Structure 1
Amino acid sequence: MNRVIQTVDPLSPSLALNQNIIQQRWIDHFKNVKFMKLARSLGPSYLRVGGITADEITFVMNSETRMKKSYSCSERKLSGRKKTIFSNKEKVENASIVMTEGDWKKLNEFCSSAGWKLIFDLNLLKRNGSRWNYTNAQQLIKFTENRYHVNWELGNEPNSYPHNMGTTISPEQVGEGFKQLRKLLQASPWWESSVIVGPDLNHVGSLNAAKFLSRFLKAAGHTIDGITYHQYDMNGNVAELADFLNPHILHRIRSQTQQILDVRSKYAPDKSVWLGETASAYDGGVKGVSNSFADGFTWLDKLGTVAQMGVDVVMRQSLFEGSYALIDKHFDPLPDYWLTFLYKQLVGNKVLKVTQIEINKKNDNEEKKVRIYAHCTKDVRYSKGSVVLYFINLKNTTIYLSINSLKNRGAVIDMYLLTPGEKRNITSKSIRLNGVTLKLSSTNTFPRLRPTRIDESKLKLGIKIPSFTYGFLVLSGANAYACLPMTLK
């Protein structure tokens, strides 16, 4: 653990919301005191506001009208919102949701109060023939100048437009839109620090996705600051609890992400890679599971995997709405909220190399059921040179973890063990930290995050990790060379 293998964005993990928060008026709750406290406690973060409705939205100044006009289309439920399937591509632009000045102000003021950086996804399906009609985007950008600092995307999952939106836009045409967006921002010094990320590719791992990204990067890779892709482990309509505990399913993201990294290396090697939208299961998650303790296995393992691979930012879908939300409709935090909160409190952005050796394993599959990752800690809680390990144990037996690098080092070990709020029920909607249920008080005060100190004498036998649990081990005072500032090396 003395070698840094990756350095990721300190704002990762971050959060995502669908733009239907405007249509469904969730945006009106942004000043709720409890909700604001929960949001602020996950900062600093990016907030990506996008999703399929990003390609249906129109900015209108001085208007309180929510829908631009009525339209005829078929609808089906997707990720907690209505997904629009247009009968023909001529109807696409007529199906816009209106975002008013007031909506835009509420969104930006929320991000400012929470200490978050907004990433807003512009409508790519406003077209003049084969070209992006940027008039409305230009109006929004002009209105925003000298008011708010915003980062930008353009379009949502354009490689799936034929299926999702009934139209086709080539990778080169998408690239031309990004070039135009860059020109719009270059017109004012206000946007010098603003980033553009895209193209929000989905179906990663497929040959078509690789071809689409390759062509896009050849056309416009120089115009973006980060390459974004979307990834979900499973289908929320058919997945079951067992899938959340299946190491082979958890492992899929590795090959999918490697595809993106390989294309990046060939066509845009200087660009960072962002996992711009992700959760355990698409179509809103799996009811009763994605919002439970069990989801933490997929979430924590995903964070560790992509950090090891060098993905700069991870944006979790969704802060609220859908079964995969971090916060429920009553603004009560769910297990993944507490897991994310603890991660952002403890885990720094320097990723360390870990060599994992398991003794007495029965087969190769057994090894994959125990996963361990390591980072330098954040300095706010622990001294410089400290290391945090985070782990998941998918075995149905207790394991004993031995840390060879600690021998004769004199480090102090703090354990943050997370278990279901309801004992032996991994679909519990609550979570315990070292046996204490995590919840807000009646005055919305956060609980203290009390670790359990591991006695040095127990290190010889190994640290006890119960079955179907996950958590963090902080090696305080480890004086890991890779985690020390240059002045102390």
Structure 2
Amino acid sequence: MKKILLFWVFALLGGNVFAQQNAPQNKINLKDMSFIGKVDERYQSFNIEMCEVIGGDFWIPYNLVDSVRKHSDRKGIDALKWKIEPINLYEKKIRNLAAGLGPTYVRVSGTWANAIFFQNNDGPKLSSPPKGFKNILTRQQWKGVVDFCKAVDGKLVTSFPISEGMRDESGKWQPTQVKSIIDYTNSVGGDIHAAEFFNEPSHAIHGDAPKGYNGEIFAKEFALFKDFASTYAPKMRIIGPGSSTEGGIIPAGLDFPIDELLSHTPKPSFEVFTYHYYGNISKRCLGGQKVENALSPDWLKRTEKGLEFYQNARDKYMPNTPIWLTETAETACGGNPWAATYIDSFRYLDQMGRLAKKGVQVVMHNTLARSEYGLLDHDTHNPRPNYWAAHLWNKLMGNQVYDAGNSETGVYTYAHNLKNKSKGKTVMILNTNKTATSVSIPADAKQYLLTADELVTKKVSLNGKVLKLTANDELPEIEGKTVKKGIVELPAYSIMFLTFSK
């Protein structure tokens, strides 16, 4: 009898040990999630480069770099770019897909906007821009931007030129071009929701600012711009500065550090403090990021380092001002080749989750449809994996942010309210590990599971079914799979959204 009792004691103890060893390390506790704060309802947004709108020099696709450079006499970084045609913002497919991310902000800016001349008439396009400008933006092209924003529920964000042509004979900055763009936008039923003075003043010298430009000139001219805008377009939010590459992130090409831009009198101030972030330079521009590190904790956390630098600057010069990330992507210089594949969806969604918890109000991805970091393929405009990730975020993640608690190493968990519902939560879980794991959930849920057969692929599946557009270039129905309270399996290298209705 004693032997039988001992057998059952050991069996029970062994069973408990086995259960403990196989118990899920990841547990969702909806009741204990503390509220962190809110993000803008247009938190997830995107850029369309001014270069795309007017047609200009942009990054050569990797598969064509060698052949294009072989027949080019361009030098330096210009040898990595080629002429692209203006984007057709009336195309049905691109509008359908952009609307699938709405509501958003649509930022039309970039270096090419710094030397743009707005041809404010309906005559033939000028053969060359006036003195002091490099590029021409026609009414038709700008109307395409305005009409696009209306069609996709996008609020327009932009910046204005800063080149020599913006000054009179005495060298004083003039608002003539700004006035023309605002007037025409209004005349076609549009609205500029927010504007930066110009794109990336941290790189002003490389961004077509006049010779001798410095922080003192920036402060004085920004004051002129702000005074003009406050009376002529009082509803247009003045945001800035839109600086980038500081804080030890990318040690390249910086003209003016943030202190040089913001410390002079009259001191610049903005309704929204903006910055740009790229974790590295792409392979195209000889950057050091490698695909085998694309899921590493150091790479994923790097976005917090970029934010910390600019948060500290914001706190120093204009405390409590909302902060937006107005340009970001996998890497600068058009992104690495794998930016167009499934592996970058982890960085994309993790960055969104991290920054929401840290108080960033808006994140604008660069770009919608150009180069390897585009959400859409630049030739076909078919969705890439990052688009599907963005579409799921938009469909499921509300603007209320919660602390989802801790997870096992390599698993990242984020929680928001369930979008467009009066109650409920969405929990997003990223498993960057090469092994499967499990999650304990406290109630029945709807599961949206993203997986792929390999990491560097453009084909991604939702709950086992490959995601693709319909025959009419429309988005498919996105449906969740019911999973019961208890243990849910999380495959290796997978992304799971779980929605809880209560």
In structure 2, what is the Cα distance between the partners aligned to 1:37 and 1:357?
A: 36
In structure 1, what is the Cα distance between the partners aligned to 2:273 and 2:216?
A: 15
SS at match of 1:29: coil
* Per-residue Cα deviation, 1:257-297 (whole angstroms, up to 9, x for no partner): 0121122122211311110100011100112x111111101
Aligned to 2:403: 353
Aligned pair 1:389/2:427, yes or no? yes
In structure 2, what is the Cα distance between the partners aligned to 1:443 and 1:471?
A: 28
* Per-residue Cα deviation, 1:372-424 (whole angstroms, up to 9, x for no partner): 11111112xxx432111112111111111235xx3xxxx3211111012xx2x
SS at match of 1:139: helix
Letter in 2 for 1:110: F
In structure 1, what is the Cα distance between the partners aligned to 2:300 and 2:255?
A: 21
Letter in 1 for 2:145: L
Cα–Cα, structure 1 residues 243 and 177, in superposed 2: closer, same or farther, change >3 Å?
farther
Count of aligned pairs: 427
Aligned to 2:444: 412
Aligned to 1:184: 228
In structure 2, what is the Cα distance between the partners aligned to 1:168 and 1:377?
A: 52
Letter in 2 for 1:245: L
* Per-residue Cα deviation, 1:327-376 (whole angstroms, up to 9, x for no partner): 11212111111111110110011111122043xxxxxxxx2x21111111
Letter in 2 for 1:212: P
Q: After the TM superposition, which of the residue ranges 138-147 and 30-39 deviates more from structure 2?
A: 138-147
Deviation, 1:326, is: 0.8
| Pairing 1:333-348 to 2, within 5 Å after superposition | 333-348=383-398
Structure 1 residue aligned with 2:118, among 25, 40, 59? 59
In structure 2, what is the Cα distance between the partners aligned to 1:307 and 1:67?
A: 46
Deviation, 1:67, is: 5.6
Aligned to 1:448: 477
Contact 2:48–2:368 (CA under 8 A) maintained in structure 1: yes
In structure 2, what is the Cα distance between the partners aligned to 1:131 and 1:392?
A: 53
SS at match of 2:235: coil
| Pairing 1:147-162 to 2, within 5 Å after superposition | 147-150=189-192, 151-162=194-205
Structure 1 residue aligned with 2:365, among 298, 306, 316? 316
Contact 2:204–2:256 (CA under 8 A) maintained in structure 1: no
Aligned to 1:140: 181
Letter in 2 for 1:100: T
Aligned pair 1:286/2:336, yes or no? yes
In structure 2, what is the Cα distance between the partners aligned to 1:396 and 1:297?
A: 13
In structure 2, what is the Cα distance between the partners aligned to 1:464 and 1:220?
A: 58
Structure 1 residue aligned with 2:416, among 367, 375, 395? 375
Letter in 2 for 1:36: R
Cα–Cα, structure 1 residues 305 and 172, in superposed 2: closer, same or farther, change >3 Å?
farther
In structure 2, what is the Cα distance between the partners aligned to 1:463 and 1:172?
A: 58
Letter in 2 for 1:64: P
SS at match of 2:336: coil
Gaps of 5+ in 2: 1-31, 56-83
Contact 1:412–1:453 (CA under 8 A) maintained in structure 2: yes
Structure 2 residue aligned with 1:229, among 259, 264, 275? 275
Deviation, 1:64, is: 3.1
Letter in 1 for 2:235: S
CA RMSD of aligned residues (A): 2.5
Contact 1:125–1:132 (CA under 8 A) maintained in structure 2: no
Cα–Cα, structure 1 residues 221 and 434, in superposed 2: closer, same or farther, change >3 Å?
farther
Deviation, 1:471, is: 2.5
Deviation, 1:309, is: 0.5
| Pairing 1:418-457 to 2, within 5 Å after superposition | 418-420=450-452, 423=453, 425-456=454-485
Structure 2 residue aligned with 1:14, among 35, 45, 55? 45
In structure 2, what is the Cα distance between the partners aligned to 1:130 and 1:5?
A: 48
In structure 2, what is the Cα distance between the partners aligned to 1:396 and 1:111?
A: 41
Contact 2:162–2:208 (CA under 8 A) maintained in structure 1: no
| TM-score, normalisation: structure 2 | 0.79
Deviation, 1:256, is: 1.6
In structure 2, what is the Cα distance between the partners aligned to 1:42 and 1:467?
A: 27
Deviation, 1:324, is: 0.6
| Pairing 1:157-176 to 2, within 5 Å after superposition | 157-163=200-206, 165=208, 167=211, 169-176=213-220
| Structure index of larger Rg | 2
Q: After the TM superposition, which of the residue ranges 112-121 and 238-247 deviates more from structure 2?
A: 238-247
Structure 2 residue aligned with 1:301, among 344, 347, 350? 350
Letter in 2 for 1:236: S
In structure 2, what is the Cα distance between the partners aligned to 1:375 and 1:114?
A: 24
* Per-residue Cα deviation, 1:124-149 (whole angstroms, up to 9, x for no partner): 23454775343222222233345421
Deviation, 1:165, is: 4.8
Q: After the TM superposition, which of the residue ranges 229-238 and 431-440 deviates more from structure 2?
A: 229-238
SS at match of 1:132: coil
Aligned pair 1:246/2:262, yes or no? no
In structure 2, what is the Cα distance between the partners aligned to 1:9 and 1:210?
A: 31
SS at match of 2:280: strand
Cα–Cα, structure 1 residues 206 and 240, in superposed 2: closer, same or farther, change >3 Å?
closer
Gaps of 5+ in 1: 71-92, 359-366, 478-489
Deviation, 1:94, is: 3.6
